[in-house]
Amino acid sequence: MILGFFFHYRLLHPVHDAYGLWVTSVICEIWFAISWILDQFPKWCPVRRETYLDRLSLRYEKEGKPTELASIDIFVSTVDPTKEPPLITANTVLSILAVDYPVDKVACYVSDDGAAMLTFEALSETSEFARKWVPFCKKFSIEPRAPEWYFSQKIDYLKNKVHPAFVKHRRAMKREYEEFKVRINSLVSMAQKVPEEGWTMQDGTPWPGNNVRNHPGMIQVLLGHTGVHDIEGNELPRLVYVSREKRPGFEHHKKAGAMNALVRVSAVISNAPYLLNVDCDHYINNSKALREAMCFMMDPSLGKRVCYVQFPQRFDGIDRHDRYSNRNIVFFDVCIHFLFFFPSLLFLLSLGKLIFQMKQINMRGLDGIQGPIYVGTGCVFRRQALYGYDAPVKKKPPGKTCNCPRCCCLCCGSRKGKKVKQRDQKKKKMKHRESSNQIYALETIQGGIKGIYTEQASKTSPDELEKKFGQSPVFIASTLLENGGIPDEARPASLLNEAIQVISCDYEDKTDWGKEVGWIYGSVTEDILTGFKMHCHGWRSVYCIPKRPAFKGSAPINLSDRLHQVLRWALGSVEIFFSKHCPVWYGYGGGLKWLERFSYINSVVYPWTSIPLIIYCTLPAICLLTGKFIVPEISNYASIVFMALFISIAATGIVEMRWGGVGIDDWWRNEQFWVIGGVSSHLFALFQGLLKVLAGVNTNFTVTSKAGDDGEYSELYLFKWTSLLIPPTTLLIINIVAVVVGISDAINNGYESWGPLFGKLFFALWVIVHLYPFLKGLIGKKDRLPTIILVWSILLASLLTLSWVRINPFLTKGGLVLEVCGLDCD
Ligand SMILES: O=c1ccn([C@@H]2O[C@H](COP(=O)(O)OP(=O)(O)O[C@H]3O[C@H](CO)[C@@H](O)[C@H](O)[C@H]3O)[C@@H](O)[C@H]2O)c(=O)[nH]1
Ligand SMILES: [Mn+2]
């Protein structure tokens, strides 16, 4: 590293624009230093991290720990039954109901933002089917427990199963499922027939959700302890349908708002101390995953400082070559990742200040620092961490006294007196507010007031609690219980009544919901913000990668959908970048570690790299068209150093990949898609984000379309027109034109011009190779050639080349200009 530093200095000094280069190289070296440090400290080292994971799951296997499993509330969000087919949601719900966990400790809440009767009907069908499906799964321990995916597995199920009844049962079950599927699909086709007057309920009254933007809150408990049992007479987990109230003029905050509504509803109905969030297009693929998460949550050595356990996202139904890098394997499995495009191109095209390099600490690497970021699905939360509290302070060994105010409140007598007084005040206040729908008497929760959180909570006055959590006394009382649960004497009817209150539109008015409590608002990618806030409060998160993937989901497979998804993520990042929560300046003095901060910064600034990226994709073409070579002349000595550096970067990259178990093809797809997404989605996100900040123009959250159940890749070639396609097409065309022009020029000028040409051709081809999957997606099936994009892009490309040729002051070699013009005028 030090050597590298020295070389940089020696090397770059004589170059024309040395200053900018020097600065960038220093930044580079800092990154090198970080990776070096990461490798030196085994605690942060990915390999060590793996053994840590092993240790926990080993203990779990040996001792069956944790023996006492805590309750867990599971949230599924759906919004649009036309884009999120009810069958997919049904499968998600079935995999949850059949999970390998005590039934009385699981409650599944389905939030329906579309308020579609269709979703509701599909869900009640699902609950009926679950009565047969759940006992079947448990009896034969099948995996996965989402029927669609279980039955579509192409394995010989007779091989390992010796149970004689299994074959018969499986066949019967499969038939049942086919029938269930027919029922769900007939619901869907019925839904298409009832557009105008809207749905009616069985008794003829209109379905309250007919108007998606204006309807009351709806809650329906479909399964539960006291309710229906499965066909073998066993209990089933609770299943609750929730559609929050919608009124015109209220901001609903999309998924984050839906999640917060569920947090409150579940607090009133089951109040489990842990929560799991899965998107409707993801299902539980490993029925033991919840237990794995509990290993971390209840691990004494982690001391209740874990705010969430994130599982990596894995996907089904991705084309074999994963053309658009949907799997995101590099993000989920590599610790530290160099974006190779930068070092290779940018180092050599030394354009001074514009050069910069990206080195990302990804999920696995973060796990050695303060934990992975939250990616929106497949994540088990500690409920208390969502309530905006600080992480519990590490306990000092007895005998040591600490004077810091944080520790003091735990031991110091005079404060305790004050606390009791406050508690009495609270008691009075609560009694005072007692109303018909109040279920908890404070006395019943008094026993629960102990431990770290309640320590913090009891420091808060009742007024403050109300300002923070809103006006529901039942909800507030529930937040004071560290271990969750509902008092025995609570009546279900009044609980439901209270649950309706907490999903009303104005519940969050003038409270901390979405600001300090729950899922955080203010960006279309609520996930980054939510995790970030918790890390700022000093919590740590855990990355859990069980051998059998815990959750699996669907990903968009055609180019346009994928680019739109990336656009939305990038837009979210730009929004955060301009918000008060920007990790560059937010949360100093909190519990956020600086390397963790680096990574959060990286996750919000990356859309900006689209600008230099585009410049670097145009430069090779310009080189070829103008005959000017941008790479500075460097000495032999310098070029050797450059090569050495290049190789060292490549080597670290390869080592990181090996550690993560990522193949070269996955890595290469990632590189390619980084360029494709960079020059299209990231750029557009930047503009949209700037528009939003400067002019207040709002953009919509478009739900990512989900692949149907046809299993074929017909969608892969599906072409949808979008302006996102223009910049990469333009870049592609100018580079191809440049290559053609360059070669024909060399042919005209004879033998001696071939030498320098090769250097230039290399860069142009480098760009083209990166954009190749895009080209394939663009052309798709031959008959779908998108003329409109072609016209636009050729127009833009020729405009750019022409204008460059006109304004280029260096150009005196007239031949080339003619060449270019001749080509364009044809
Ligand atoms: O108003 C809304 C909009 C969306 N959703 C739900 O949000 C989830 C994610 O939406 P999806 O369109 O599937 O987005 P993806 O791009 O596939 O999702 C990724 O990126 C999102 C952030 O943009 C995260 O929230 C997701 O967890 C993550 O999987 C789905 O379950 C939707 O039903 C709502 O509940 N209400
Ligand atoms: Mn999704």
Report residue 219 CA to chain centroid gap. 28
Answer yes or no: 113 catalytic.
yes
Looking at the DSSP bridge assignments, the partners of residue 115 are none
Following DSSP, what letter does each residue of 735-759 receive, concatenated? HHHHHHHHHHHHHHH-GGGHHHHHH
**What pLDDT score does 502 carry?**
95
Nearest residue by C-alpha to atom 15 in ligand 1 = 704
**Strand, helix or coil for residue 532:** helix
Q: How far is the CA of 49 from the centre of ligand 2 (A)?
A: 29
Q: How far is the CA of 722 from the centre of ligand 2 (A)?
A: 20
**Which residue carries 């990574």 as its tokens?**
599
pLDDT digits (tens, 9 = 90+) for 47-78: 334 444 454 555 555 565 555 688 999 999 99
The first and second tokens of residue 211, run together, are 């108007």
**Does an H or E element contain 109, and which?**
strand 106-112
Cα distances from 586 to residues 552, 578, 594, 598, 701, in angstroms, run: 33, 11, 12, 12, 25
Q: How far is the CA of 104 from the centre of ligand 2 (A)?
A: 29
Q: How far is the CA of 474 from the centre of ligand 1 (A)?
A: 30
In 626-677, at which residue ranges do the beta strands (DSSP E only) sit? none
Nearest residue by C-alpha to atom 30 in ligand 1 = 279
Cα separation of 41 and 39, whole Å?
6
Q: Could you say which of 322, 527, 666, 745 is catalytic? A: 527
The first and second tokens of residue 475, run together, are 């909800």
Cα separation of 510 and 489, whole Å?
31
Closest listed ligand to the CA of 528:
1
Cα distances from 494 to residues 219, 252, 435, 440, 500, in angstroms, run: 13, 26, 11, 11, 10
Q: Among residues 511, 560, 538, 507, which one has the least CA distance to residue 721?
A: 560
Atom of ligand 1 nearest to the CA of 556: 17
Q: How far is the CA of 722 from the centre of ligand 1 (A)?
A: 21
Classify each residue of 71-80 as buried b or exposed e, where b means 16 or more C-beta atoms within 10 Å of its C-beta: bbbbbbbbbb
The first and second tokens of residue 600, run together, are 């959060």
**Which residue carries 């009844």 as its tokens?**
165
Q: How far is the CA of 726 from the centre of ligand 2 (A)?
A: 25
Nearest residue by C-alpha to atom 14 in ligand 1 = 704
Atom of ligand 1 nearest to the CA of 277: 27
pTM score: 0.81
**What pLDDT score does 553 carry?**
93
Q: Binding residue per annotation — 254?
A: yes
Q: Which residues contact 357 (CB under 8 A, 6 or more apart)?
A: 24, 27, 28, 31, 338, 339, 342, 343, 346, 347
Closest listed ligand to the CA of 246:
1
**What pLDDT score does 568 carry?**
93
Burial (Cβ within 10 Å: 0-12, 13-18, ≥19) of residue 130: buried
Report residue 522 CA to chain centroid gap. 16
Q: Binding residue per annotation — 255?
A: yes
Q: Binding residue per annotation — 400?
A: no
Nearest residue by C-alpha to atom 17 in ligand 1 = 704
Half-sphere exposure of 256 (CA within 13 A, CB side): 27
Nearest residue by C-alpha to atom 28 in ligand 1 = 376
Q: Could you say which of 112, 113, 281, 316 is catalytic? A: 113
Write the secondary structure of 354-399 as one string of H (helix), E (strand) and C (coil): HCCCCEEECHHHHHCCCCCCCCCCCEEEEHHHHCCCCCCCCCCCCC
Atom of ligand 1 nearest to the CA of 252: 1
Cα separation of 208 and 211, whole Å?
7
Residues at CB less than 6 angstroms from ligand 1 = 77-79, 84, 111, 113, 254-255, 258, 279-281, 376-377, 524-525, 527, 565, 568-569, 572, 701, 703-704
- pLDDT < 70 stretches in the chain: 1-68, 156-162, 192-197, 225-227, 338-359, 395-459, 628-653, 655-656, 659, 699-702, 706-721, 750-753, 755-756, 780-789, 801-826
Q: Binding residue per annotation — 84?
A: yes
Q: Which of 79, 96, 706 to mutate to test the pocket of ligand 1 (most atoms within 8 A of CB)?
A: 79
Q: Binding residue per annotation — 113?
A: yes
Closest listed ligand to the CA of 523:
1
Atom of ligand 1 nearest to the CA of 705: 12
Calculated CA dihedral for residues 389, 390, 392, 393, nearest 10 degrees = -150
Half-sphere exposure of 198 (CA within 13 A, CB side): 15
Q: Binding residue per annotation — 77?
A: yes
Classify each residue of 755-793 as buried b or exposed e, where b means 16 or more C-beta atoms within 10 Å of its C-beta: eebeebbebbebbbebbebbeebbebeeeeebeebeebb
Q: Name the residue ranges covered by the structural domains of the chain.
A: 71-287, 389-395+414-508
Residues in the chain: 826
Looking at the DSSP bridge assignments, the partners of residue 218 are 243
Cα separation of 118 and 184, whole Å?
9
Do residues 285 and 143 make contact, with C-beta atoms less than 8 angstroms apart? yes
Nearest residue by C-alpha to atom 25 in ligand 1 = 376
Q: How far is the CA of 133 from the centre of ligand 1 (A)?
A: 27
Cα separation of 548 and 532, whole Å?
28
Half-sphere exposure of 625 (CA within 13 A, CB side): 28
Answer yes or no: 527 catalytic.
yes
**What pLDDT score does 622 carry?**
83
Q: Which residues contact 442 (CB under 8 A, 6 or more apart)?
A: 426, 427, 430, 431, 477
Nearest residue by C-alpha to atom 31 in ligand 1 = 279
The first and second tokens of residue 206, run together, are 């209109």
**What pLDDT score does 284 carry?**
97
ipTM of the complex: 0.97
Closest listed ligand to the CA of 76:
1
Atom of ligand 1 nearest to the CA of 84: 33
**What pLDDT score does 402 carry?**
39
Q: Helix 462-469 crosses helix 413-433 at what angle (to 10 degrees)?
A: 60
